[in-house]
Structures are given as structure tokens and as C-alpha cells.
Structure 1
Amino acid sequence: MQPRAVLRAPFTRRAWFEAAYCLAAFPLAVLGFVVTLVPLALGAALTATLVGAVLGLVLLVGVLVLARLSASLHRGLAARLLGERTAPPPPFRRGQGIGGRIDARLRDVTAWRAIGYVLARLPVAALGAYGVAWWITALLNLTLPLRWVFGGRTAGGIPMLTPLPAGGTPHISTWPGTLVSVAAGAATLLAAPWLVRAAVAADRRLRHALLGPGELTQRVRALEETRALAVDDATARLRRLERDLHDGPQVRLVAVALSLDMAREKLADQDGPISDPDGVRRLVATAHRSAAETLSELRDLSRGLHPPALDEGLPDALATLAARSALPVELSAEVPVRPTQAIETMAYYCVAELLANAAKHSGARRAVVTVTQRDDALRLRVTDDGSGGARVLAGGGLAGLHQRIRTVDGRLHISSPEGGPTAITVVLPPHA
């Protein structure tokens, strides 16, 4: 940790909002703990008796309903003061009839997780409130010289607060002693934001673990999103292929047909020697040239669907790609176990796009491509010595790249400070 960051921490906007969050959350945590634990214990005890079973069920259902409302309140408070948005869990599904509704409430996993959050949050909230108390202690100790000057002295001196819960309260009875208070206040002021930040970090972990959607729900959402991305990407590729075929090879094939048809007409009208052999030769030459250009465009289109260089494996394909790059590229590829064809193709296009971005936008003079296969994952790392500042922006090339690799549960990591260098890592599974 840099000393400058420690000195600036008490005066940052983040520190103030985190302190406000801890100050507002502590009474809510105490109230929620009491309102949740007492009815929960009472309801559980009553349901074990024959006479109080109905009242016990009512208390349990009420606690579960209140837990969902409390979870929504805590998510809103964190979003407003910390700017941290927790994905909401799936909505509650009501059962049929009174018995079905009670059963659905008692089986509501989201509400039970919210109860766990409310009960586990109290010590974390207490730590946050203790950190806020450090702020107050620091400010009071820093102002002790002013209280000394303006008549705050008593016969026993002015009490100097300490951030520790034990150890007594020392009293300052001399003017030089006030400087000790200022030093203690300054040290406490520097430490307070980090104590509050630790409490906020612990609360963040609890909030994401217990108030957000469960692991299975998150996985289902991720699969739905990646499926939609895969469908959209496939549709876009088909449309692009259709447009390229229509605007390129199709037009040239029509020109070939017209040229050959005109040549046939010139030949069909002649019973003897051809009257315009040069014209026929020109038409045949035009048709030949159009056919050659059509073949070239079809090769380019087929290369866009599956690069022929991948037939020999990913390292050889990347070597060909590096040789064709506009930048000098240093390549290191170690792929002992060949991935599936879909992963190889995606890896090839990822490197191709990252090299193209480096050549177009970064002003780099050279690039380094490193491909390794470790921990059952394929890792691609492309670095350049350009100006940096690469970001995932909506509609940008990196955003499209991120969407494509998500379809196979891949990950994208970007390190690109202003001024460079840029290092972008793509992690792909061995099979789609």
C-alpha cells in the first residue's frame, strides 16, 4: 500500500460514503436481528406444540416475508450509498390455496438466505459502527487544543478519547499534552477509513453470497445470456455472409454469365469465319477475369468461416497470422493437447482481432502473443507497447470479443493504463 493512499484515504469521497453506509446500517442491523431472531425462535417453538402450531406458522411466514423486504432494503441502501448493485433474486412464486401458499413460503430459499444475512450481519455492522466511532474519536482529539484554549479545562484536565474499548480514559492537564492528543487523533483518523472499509468488504461478501441470486440461478441466467449471444452472433454471421455473397461473388457470376452469353451470340450467328474474333476474345477474357476474382472472393469468405491454416493446428495458424500482421509480432505457443475445433477457431479470431486493434488504435511498435495451456484452460495473452487506454465500450471491438468468448464460458482480462503498455488475456475452456 502506498503512503500517499494512506494519507489521502480520510479525505476521499469513498471513505465518507462508506462511513455513512456503516452509520445508517448499524441500527437497521440491530433492529433486523431482534425482529428476526425473536419471532423466528418463538415461531419454531410454537410449531412444535399442538396448541400453538397455527400461531407458530403465522410467525414463521411473517418472518420470511419480512426477510425479503429487509433484503430489498439492504440492497437499496448499498446501491445508493456505495454504488454497489446486487442482482435481485428471482421473484417469489405463490402456491395454490392457503396450504400451498404457506408451503411455498416455508420453502422459499431466498427468504431463508435473507434471514441468514440478517443474523450474520450484526457483528459486521458492529465492526462498521466501531470504525465510525474511530472517526468521531479522531475528530474530538484533533480539536482538543481548541477546547483547551476556549475554556474546556477542568480540575482533572480534559479527557482524551482512545479508539480502544479498554485501557481507561487519559486526561490532558498541560498544554504540551494537547499535542499528544493531536498526534493520537491524526493516527486514528488515518486508520479509521481502513477499519470501515474492512467492514464494508465483509458486508459486501455477505450481501453477494446471501442476498443475490443463488449459484444455480446465476448459472441459469448466464446460460440464457450466452445462448442469446450465440444465437445473435450466428444470425449476424449468416446475414453478413449473405450480404457478402450477394454483393461480391453473385454479381461477378452474373457478369461471367453475361459475357459468355454475348460470346455465344457472336459465335452462333456465324456460319463461316468469325467476323469479330477480337470481341469474342475480350468477352472470354472478361469472363475469365470475373471467374478468377469470384474464386478469390469465395476463398476469402471460406477463410472467414474456417481459416485453412488451422488444419495444421493452432500454433501454426498463429504463426501464419503473426507473419501477416501489420506489427512485428513475437509469438510463443505451447499447446500440448489440441483443443476442439470451435475453441481453436475462436482463439485464432481472438488473436487476430487483438492484433488488428493494436495496429489500428494503440500506436504500438511491436506486439507479443503468448499461448499456454494450463489447468485445463487455454490462455491467450496479447501485449503491446502502445499508448494504452483500452476499454470495453458498448459497440466496440472488445465488447464484441467479450460477448463471443462468453458463449463458451471464456473470460477476458484487460490491463491497459493510460500511456501503456496494454496486456489483454483471454481464457478459454478446452472444449465448447
Structure 2
Amino acid sequence: MSTASPSPAGLLAQVLRAPLSRRAWREAAYLLVTGLIGFVGAVLLLVLLALGFGFVLSLLGALLGLVLTVAALGLARALGRIQRRLAAALLGERIPAPRSPAGRADLGLFARLDARLRDVTGWRHVAYVLAKLPLSLIGLYAVQWWVIGLINLTAPVRWALFGQGDGGGMLLMTPLPAGGSPTVHDFAGTLIGLPMGLVSLLIAPWFTRLVVLADRRLMRALLGPGSLAQRVRDLEETRALAVDDSVALLRRVERDLHDGAQVRLVALALGLDMVKTKLADPSTLDLDAVRRLVDGAHLNATEALTELRDLARGIHPPVLDEGLAHALETLAARSTVPVQLTVDVPERPSPAIESIAYFCTAELLTNVIKHSGATRATVSAATRTDGTLRLRIGDDGRGGAEAGVGSGLTGLQQRVRTVDGTLEIHSPGGGPTMVTVDLPPRA
């Protein structure tokens, strides 16, 4: 969905407000704390690694070298934990922690050392700490823009309170590595510090944001679980979701059968029993009563058939037998909100994918009808160049839709995840809303 570009006035306001934003100060604090920790930690890590490799190469102290190397891996993991916690607290960046290295007490010393040395996650943490070293220095330099900007802004106040100190004038600092810092010798000269400080503070938030962005990418690449471990974790989660979904479906089927069709069939059997009893004695036969009993049995049989048909449709809609395009046309025709439908799916996905696509569209259109206040909706289904099936369901309603607020979107996200799909929601307050579902062609 395209968004309008901000106006020049909006950009100027954004630049002027940046130094006062909570995000900017949090990022500056993050760079300051992690810069100091990262610098000290990287130096200690380099010392441990240098000593460890040196002793290993000397052969005489090989065991000590291995112990020092393992200690370096442990230090790198500890620094990674600190980094993840600081990122979560100050940036809101939550990176899943990798699994701890497996260790067995029944193994010998050399076996345990070998297992730790083969810990790929530990070496990825070492790579992060070493890569973080130059980034820490750049981050501390970015923090310097904040500090120097604030100091220069206070130059007139400091002159008024303390004068020029030893008579050598007052130095106005600049964060630039070259160009020199001017010295002023009267109060009027200190006023130059105001624009200098203002420029520094206006540049500082964007400089720190750029460094934080680089650090975020570095953390995501090296501090989280590896791609294989993350894939295993995702598969474990989606398997659990699939099992829970199937159990919930079975419980719903059992409940619907018990509370619906079964009750109707019991009533039907009782009604037919009563008809049989009345027909057994022709002398007291009451045709009107028998007719009422037969009508009641017929009604129960009809309603039981309807409930069984609805139950079967909830498990697998028969309309899908004719293809996803026909099924979506049926959903659009039944909607009380006008729906503009576009379907471009040359090759049919697997039945499981078609079923998920159908139920996602049905649930999202239901949300549009019940909650959005929309006057029209759009549904599009198309096969992308990589074979992915993309569904886009939008409306011109009030917006504000999000997962976890009782809209059923959380359940849809979980159902889509079971087949490695994704569901994204774009629904700003005031609308419009657009939900994008990407599904693989096969499940």
C-alpha cells in the first residue's frame, strides 16, 4: 500500500523534534552504555584469545590455552546476554536467546573442552564482540555530538557565572575531527555557541540512529539463534500450533454433534417411537396427534441434516471442490458489504493451502462486516513469480485492527504459520485496512 510522502513542513518539524524525542535519548543512552561495555569486553576478549592461541601453539601450555579459549567463548556469550537485555530495555529490540551449549557431567575434561570449542553459537558471539569494537568507538563518537551540543548551548550561561576563568578565553568545542575549536574572549563571542550547539543537537539523533541501525542488524545476524536452530524452533512451534488446532477442531466437532445433531436425532427417534406406539392400537388411533408427531419428526430430521451439512462445510467447504476462484466468488456474493474481487491463480494450490486461504478470507470478510463500518471491501488472490499465493483483503472502514484484540486475527496468524505462511496487518486509526496473507503453493 502506498503512503503519501511527508510535506517539507512535516519533515522540518520532524527534524526539530528529534532531539527532544524519547527514542533519541534512549538510543544515545544505549550507545553510551554498550559502547563502554563493548570496548572493555572486546579488549578482554582479545587478550584471552591471544593468550589462548599463544599457549595452544606453544604445545607446552596447550591445555591452559584451550581453557583460556573456552573462557573467551564464555565471556563472549555473557557479553551477548548483556547486549540483548540492553537492546530490549532501551530499544525494544527483542532477540531470541540461542540455546545454551550442551554439557554432560559424565564426559571427561577434554571431551567437555572439545564440545565447548565446537560451539558455533559461541563463535558467532565472538564475531559480534569483535565486530562491535569499531562500532562501539563510532557510537561513543556519536554520543559526543550530544555532549558537545549541550556544552556549547550553555556557553553564555557559563561565561555569565564564571567569566573566562584564567583569562585565556572560553573554548567552543566542535564534534568534527578536523577544523579546530574557536576560542572566544567576550560574552558576545559565546553567543556563537548557541547555533553551534543547536546544529550538533539536530544532527546527533540521526547520527545515533544510523549507528543503532547498524548494531541492530549485527545483533540479529550474530546474537540470535542460527538459521538452522531458528528453523528447528519455528518447526517446533508450528507443529504445536497444528496439533492444538486439530485438537480444537475435534472438540468443536464433538461439541456441535453432541449439542446439535445428536439432540435432533434423539428427538426424532423419540417422536417415531411415539408414532409407533399410537399406531399399535388402531382402536384409539388419533390421526391429528400422529400427524403432529410425524411433523415434529420431519422437522427434527430436516434440522439435523442442516446442522450436519453446516458442520461438514466447516471442516471442508464443498465449494472448494470447484477451485479457489469459485469459492472466493461465493464468499464475495454472500457478503453484505460490496466486495471487489480479483483472482489470478493459474495453477491450483494444494487442498490444504486452498482451505486455509478460504477460511482466512471468510474470517477477514466477517471482521469487515462486523467491526470495520466499511462501505466496500476488496479481495484479491494472485500467484506470485515464486509460486507463493498472496491474498489481500482490504476495506475503507475505521481501521485500528490488530492481532490480540479479540478480532480473531491471532488465530489466523497461527493457522497461517502452520504452513510457513505470513499474515501482515496494516490498519492505522481512521483506516483504511489491508491484510496481506502469503501462503506457499504446497503444504
Structures share fold, TM-score greater than 0.5: yes
Aligned residues: 430
The answer on 1:371 being equivalent to 2:394 is: no
Counterpart residue identity of residue 423, structure 1:
M
Shift of 1:275: 3.1
Deviations 1:276-329 (A, max 9, x none): 222222222221221111111111111111111111111111111011012111
Distance 2:379 2:92 in 1: 37
Matches within 5 A, 1:195-214: 195-214=207-226
- Name the counterpart of 1:65: 74
Q: Please name the residue that 2:21 is paired with.
A: 12
- Deviates further, 74-83 or 242-251: 74-83
What is residue 90 of structure 1 aligned with on the other side?
99
RMSD: 1.8
Indicate which of 309, 327, 336 corresponds to 1:317. Answer: 327
In 2, distance between residues paired with 1:371 and 1:176?
Answer: 68
In structure 1, the residue matched to 2:392 is: 381
Confirm or deny: 8 A CA contact 2:55 2:64 kept in the other structure: yes
One-letter amino acid of the counterpart of residue 95, structure 2: T
Q: What is the CA–CA distance in structure 2 between the aligned matches of 1:99 and 1:212, rounded to whole Å?
A: 28
Point out where structure 1 has 5 or more consecutive residues left out of the alignment.
none
SS across alignment from 2:276: helix
SS at match of 1:379: strand
Which residue of structure 2 aligns with residue 149 of structure 1?
160
TM-aligned CA deviation for residue 148 of structure 1: 3.7
- Given that residues 139 and 185 in structure 1 are in contact (C-alpha distance below 8 angstroms), is that contact kept between their aligned partners in structure 2? yes
State the Cα distance separating 1:80 from its structure 2 match.
2.8
After superposition, give the CA deviation of every residue in 1:97-121 in whole Å (9 maximum; x if it has no partner): 1121111111111211111111000
Shift of 1:356: 0.6
CA contact (8 A) 1:158 1:172 kept: yes
Aligned-partner Cα distance in 1 for 2:311–2:182? 82
Answer whether contact 2:378 2:393 (CA < 8 A) is retained: yes
**Alignment of 1:266 onto 2:297:** no
| Corresponding residue of 1:38 | 47
Cα distance in 2 for residues equivalent to 1:49 and 1:187: 55
Counterpart of 1:220 in structure 2 is: 232
**Counterparts of 1:231 and 1:129, CA distance in 2:** 49
Given the alignment of the two structures, is residue 290 of structure 1 paired with residue 295 of structure 2, yes or no? no
**What letter matches 1:397 in structure 2?**
G
Q: Secondary structure at the match of 2:436?
A: strand
8 Å contact kept, 1:364–1:387:
yes
Matching residue of 2:31: 22
Q: 1:249 & 1:163 partners in 2: Cα distance?
A: 78
Q: Using the alignment, how far apart are the partners of 2:127 and 2:162 within structure 1?
A: 51
Task: Give the Cα separation in 2 of the matches to 1:65 and 1:336.
Answer: 54
**Is 1:106 equivalent to 2:108 in the alignment?**
no
Structure 2 residue 440 is matched with structure 1 residue 406: no
1:169 is matched with which residue?
181
Alignment check: 8 A CA contact 2:149 2:201 kept = yes
Residue 343 of structure 1 pairs with residue 353 of structure 2: yes
Q: Secondary structure at the match of 1:48?
A: helix
SS in 2 for 1:253: helix
Q: Is the 8 A contact 2:401 2:407 kept in 1?
A: no
Give the TM-score normalised by structure 2: 0.93
Kindly state the Cα deviation for residue 393 of structure 1 after the two structures are TM-superposed.
1.1
Match of 1:126 among 129, 133, 137: 137
Residues 378 and 395, structure 2, Cα contact 8 Å, conserved in 1: yes
Q: Which amino acid in the other structure matches residue 75 of structure 1?
A: R
Asked whether the equivalents of residues 391 and 398 of structure 1 are also in contact (C-alpha less than 8 Å), the reply is yes
Deviation (angstroms), 1:54: 2.0
* Cα offsets for 1:162-205 (capped at 9, x unmatched): 12111112223465544433112111101101111111121111
Do the aligned residues in 1 keep the contact of 2:367 with 2:407 (CA within 8 Å)? no
**Match for residue 416 of structure 1 among 402, 427, 431:** 427
**1:329-358 deviation per Cα after TM superposition (whole angstroms, max 9, x unaligned):** 111111111111111111111111111111
CA distance in 2, matches of 1:147, 1:259: 99
